[in-house]
């Protein structure tokens, strides 16, 4: 048995949730990096750097567990309001990650996708992002969606404009616009909607994240700051998901 398949077996055993009861798509709001650093009297970027290490472990574990998609809320369009030195340090961290982890993604059969607007991102980040996208395009395991320069309202606005252009050009009849039409024009087209939304650091907000896609997602909030989020915490979230009864607005046999 190869090292990769052995690791997968170990992950399955530790999780103890059958594959059919696992979420197909997990979305994460990675919160608490700054607070993690401040509690340790360190600069905020130290928290982001520690958070990047957590990202690596969670990606690999999701790949081992055969999760179809993992979406990480990395940098919102609103985050440009942060101090320039913090934003610059974050962009440098993205560059470092994209270069350093590219082969690791390929090794674990992970396909990389960016969700968000390209406009405004540094050319250096765009270049490495495109190289990672291309290098992993043939990977057939986990789809890693990194929400970078992302806003859900902006995403929906772009989708509406695209649909309007299709109607205007005669490619689409207005009466044929359905929910799937909108889904097909979002950044996540072709990727199943999240089944599980995880938010760290105890915050009880959605924060303009995948508003269309998470309509029926189970929400799991933990007080753990993202840099402290470990594989065991991921397992706890999946185990909690597996215990829930997902009715999608209907009734089950226990409802009167």
Residues acting as catalytic residues = 31, 79
Q: What is the SS3 assignment for 182? A: helix
Q: Degrees (nearest 5) of the Cα angle 127, 144, 125?
A: 20
Q: Residue with structure tokens 């990672």?
A: 132
Q: Residue with structure tokens 């399955």?
A: 12
CA–CA separation, 213 and 211 (whole Å): 6
What is the H or E stretch that residue 92 is in?
A: helix 84-100
Sign of the C-alpha dihedral, residues 216, 187, 122, 138?
A: positive
What is the phi-psi region of residue 183: left when phi exceeds 0, alpha when psi lies from -120 to 50, beta otherwise?
A: alpha
């Amino acid at each position: 048995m190869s090292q990769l398949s052995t690791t997968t077996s170990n992950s399955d055993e530790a999780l103890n949730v059958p594959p059919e009861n696992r979420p197909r798509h997990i979305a994460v709001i990675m919160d608490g990096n700054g607070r993690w650093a401040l509690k340790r009297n360190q600069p905020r970027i130290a928290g982001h750097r520690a958070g990047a290490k957590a990202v690596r472990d969670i990606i690999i574990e999701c790949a081992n567990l055969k999760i179809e998609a993992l979406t990480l809320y990395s940098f919102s369009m609103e985050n440009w309001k942060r101090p320039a030195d913090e934003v610059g340090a974050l962009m440098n961290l993205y560059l470092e990650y994209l270069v350093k982890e590219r082969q690791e993604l390929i090794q674990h059969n992970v396909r990389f996708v960016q969700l968000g607007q390209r406009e405004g991102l540094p050319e250096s980040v765009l270049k490495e992002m495109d190289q990672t996208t291309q290098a992993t395009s043939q990977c057939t395991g986990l789809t890693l969606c990194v929400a970078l320069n992302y806003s859900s309202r902006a995403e929906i606005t772009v989708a509406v404009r695209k649909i309007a252009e299709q109607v205007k050009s005669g490619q689409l009849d207005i009466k044929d616009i359905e929910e799937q039409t909108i889904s097909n024009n979002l950044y996540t087209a072709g990727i199943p909607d999240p089944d599980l939304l995880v938010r760290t650091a105890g915050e009880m907000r959605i924060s303009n994240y995948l508003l269309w896609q998470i309509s029926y997602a189970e929400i799991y909030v933990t007080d753990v700051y993202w840099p402290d989020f470990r594989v065991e915490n991921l397992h706890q979230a999946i185990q909690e998901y597996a215990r829930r009864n997902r009715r999608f607005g209907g009734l089950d046999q226990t409802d009167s």
